[in-house]
Structure 1
């Protein structure tokens, strides 16, 4: 991994609270493209989770839920190539607009978006603003990435957006404002929503439009002093930047902005979960054998038996004790792997990097275990990334591979590293709740 400068300190000066003395975030209203409730079975039936958390079984269920489910746009079927899939998505998007399934709002707006998870999932309430955020190399320092990206997913998203000429789902970004934008959010949420629906996971979703010039000005004034952290959507942010560069010759180009959801975490802290790895071609027995073959006392392996809950408790306890720790699963049992020792870590991860970064579980996993112990290439043929613990274990068992279960990273660690300009290994975190896809889209032809 490498340290990447997140901003040019000669152009902007930040304080401890993330203030910027020069330019900040610029969020503009847009004419949202929304489903017509009279043309679909239900709003819940046409929404989807973000594209990168939809597993194959979930994709089929979403496609079957309604012929107009947005998953058909964000994960179009390749017929038979990816480019054909992009063209198919563009045709569907055009057809649905002509048929009145999707209709543009009459005037540009910022959209207040509320999610409340089911009681069994904590009943977490989150509110934020959906708008069109200015994106360019010059503004890249206003938006801090915290994870590395993979070229193939970026290219995939670029191809889809370039062909559909639409922002199909918002990125999730966090910021800390002075309360003016938050006041607009709360005032809107006290009124009657444009739409309200509950998805199959029990989460309630509500959306309001903000068009009042005074409220829009209050939001702009607040965000002009802020920068944001990408919580979810690093590959799509890279997509925005690439497409903006491709169209920089155009004056007032719609490609200069991209749809995002901005959440003030001073008001609504996000939840951070781990993203697990599935090693498709490395059986558990082989993973354990290669660990045992390493020199010295770099690693400790403890067999925890067959009970997942107890194994996850052991993982949490190891992390609370300050250890690097992982769970290996996939053959019906759970093993706790702790380590490495300092000698092994120092040999694999440069001492010039911040110690907090060097000891991240994802850093150890990729730079030590994948590169030197297991020798697993970091590509989709060898490694899968799954957010759900049960799904990761099932997939490993199905493939005869190994699930590597991780403990979540604290949000404070993520922000501190991002502010130092250090990107974490790809897929290190899963912030949530994630915005549902399909409640509002942005057609670039509408601005």
Structure 2
């Protein structure tokens, strides 16, 4: 990624505060169904009519009263739990250490502009961004008490996720949550461009509904998102060229059979293959750095005067499937640790594009927020 092509979203000043909102929700048979994406397809100005049609058919409903929502969902045996609300983004600070919402990746301004325009035309926040935090004890206890009660909604969606939802309207409980995490920063796990689009809309119309943006904050201590790797394929880059570059940068290169090479994958070691040969590369990482940073900041720029095109893959199988034998090389990366991500954030260094994969994400359509004037 060309670092000059991305920017850091503005920092949001505290306190961290989630406001109640009236949730729109798709029918469970539509949640997790790729066809539901047409709700957000162009032309955006027709979304209101589309929503009215879906309401008339019972395919989308809206809660009668505002609430915060405790949302628990299970996907492939992993259970994630957190709180959904309208995040206050109305205040700014120029200092990262004072921010209560911390992005760890840069954003492309044109993509941000497009998303902001889309949300403005739809008058919707179509899905929550995902934030992670180790909840303070009071917030953790409050959510635990709520999850012990029968849920207000429980269903399995078309994509196979099972959801349990509790609507929280007790004023004292909401105040307890917001007081508990008011000064505890949260990390943006997923939705950096949507988050930046929220901020763009807020700056264009302060004092209205865009002072807030739909967000889910997940307790990484109790029911966390899984942090995985995103692998790369380097287009038109030979295995031999990677070996030469590794020696140039004083990396430790080790040829090995497939299974042995993959077994060597480690926070400081990547694995490379051209579908015929395999090797592990031990990287000379500076303290606090992640393998993905070294790859993009040192290794790829040293490969050639013109860096290769990079493709991104969430699984090893996917990376190997898209590998063109004799033309490309795959780089299999270790998953960064949450400590790696926080180290990057507190040092105000952006991680490269697609450095992290927080999974599983909730399927779109469980929570939608209407932007009312």
Give the CA deviation at 1:155: 3.3
Does the Cα contact within 8 Å between 1:172 and 1:435 map onto a contact in 2? no
SS in 2 for 1:396: coil
Q: Answer yes or no: is the 8 Å Cα contact 2:255–2:280 preserved in 1.
A: no
* 1:113-132 → structure 2 map (5 Å cutoff): 113-118=71-76, 123-132=77-86
State the partner residue of 2:279.
336
Report what 2:31 is aligned to: 47
- 8 Å CA contact 2:198, 2:213 repeated in 1: yes
The corresponding residue for 1:427 is 354
Q: Provide the secondary structure at the position in 2 that maps to 1:142.
A: strand
Written as runs of structure 1 = structure 2, the 5 A alignment for 1:138-217 is 138=92, 141-198=99-156, 203-217=161-175
Counterparts of 1:166 and 1:271, CA distance in 2: 28
Aligned partner of 1:404 among 331, 346, 352:
331
Query: Structure 1 399/304 Cα, relative in aligned 2: closer, same or farther at 3 Å?
Result: closer
Report the CA distance shift for 1:384/1:172 in structure 2 as closer, same or farther (over 3 A).
same
Residue of structure 1 in register with 2:214 after alignment: 259
Deviations 1:272-304 (CA, angstroms, capped at 9, x unpaired): 11112233xx23xx3323224446463454444
Q: Given the superposition, is the C-alpha separation of residues 356 and 438 from structure 1 closer, same or farther in structure 2, using an over 3 Å criterion?
A: farther
Q: Which residue of 2 aligns with 1:315?
A: 265
Alignment partner, residue 271 of structure 1: 226
Match of 1:298 among 240, 243, 250: 250
Between the aligned partners of 1:29 and 1:384, the Cα distance in structure 2 is 40
Distance in 2 of aligned mates of 1:173 and 1:306: 37
Looking at structure 2, the residues matched to 210 and 377 of structure 1 have their Cα atoms a distance apart, in angstroms, of 51
Residues in 1 aligned to 2:60 and 2:34: alpha-carbon distance in whole angstroms: 18
Partner of 1:327: 271
Moved more, 264-273 or 168-177: 264-273
Structure 1, gaps ≥5 residues long = 13-22, 37-42, 49-60, 64-68, 77-83, 343-354
Task: For 1:341 and 1:412, locate their aligned partners in 2 and report how far apart those are by CA, in whole Å.
Answer: 18
Partner of 2:20: 29
Specify the alignment match of 2:34 in structure 1.
62
How far apart, CA to CA, are the structure 2 residues paired with 1:398 and 1:438? 40
Q: Secondary structure at the match of 1:111?
A: strand
Distance in structure 1 (CA, Å) of the matches to 2:49 and 2:254: 54
Alignment correspondent of 1:103: 61
Matched with 2:290 is: 360
Distance across 2 between alignment mates of 1:193 and 1:236: 29
Contact 2:70/2:81 (<8 A) preserved: yes
Task: Report the CA distance between 1:99 and its aligned residue.
Answer: 4.2
> Contact (CA 8 Å) 2:69, 2:167: kept in 1 or not?
yes
Aligned to 2:38: 72
Structure having the higher helix fraction is: 1
SS in 2 for 1:126: strand
Alpha-carbon distance between aligned partners in 2 of 1:367 and 1:234, rounded to the nearest angstrom: 21
Name which of 285, 296, 303 aligns with 1:373. Answer: 303
In structure 2, runs of 5+ residues without a counterpart are none
Cα 1:114–1:399, aligned 2, differ >3 Å: closer, same or farther? Answer: farther
Q: What's the secondary structure of 1:431's corresponding residue? A: strand
Q: Secondary structure at the match of 1:326?
A: strand
**Residues 80-127 of structure 1: CA deviation (Å, up to 9, x unaligned):** xxxx45456565445424544212110001111002343xxxx33321
Per-residue deviation, 1:242: 1.1
CA distance in 2, matches of 1:426, 1:257: 26
Distance 2:159 2:173 in 1: 33
TM-score by length of 2: 0.84
| Secondary structure of the corresponding residue to residue 217 of structure 1 | helix
Post-superposition shift, 1:25? 0.5
- 2:89 counterpart residue number: 135
Residue matched to 1:350:
none
Structure with the bigger percentage of strand = 2
- The Cα shift of 1:370 comes to 2.5
Render the CA deviation track for 1:296-348: whole Å, top value 9, x for unaligned.
463454444455xx5432213xx3xxx3x32234x534623415558xxxxxx
| RMSD between superposed Cα atoms in Å | 3.2
Distance 1:26 1:116 in 2: 26
What corresponds to 1:436 in structure 2?
363
| 1:239 aligns to 2:202 (yes or no) | no
Size of the aligned set, in residue pairs, is: 364
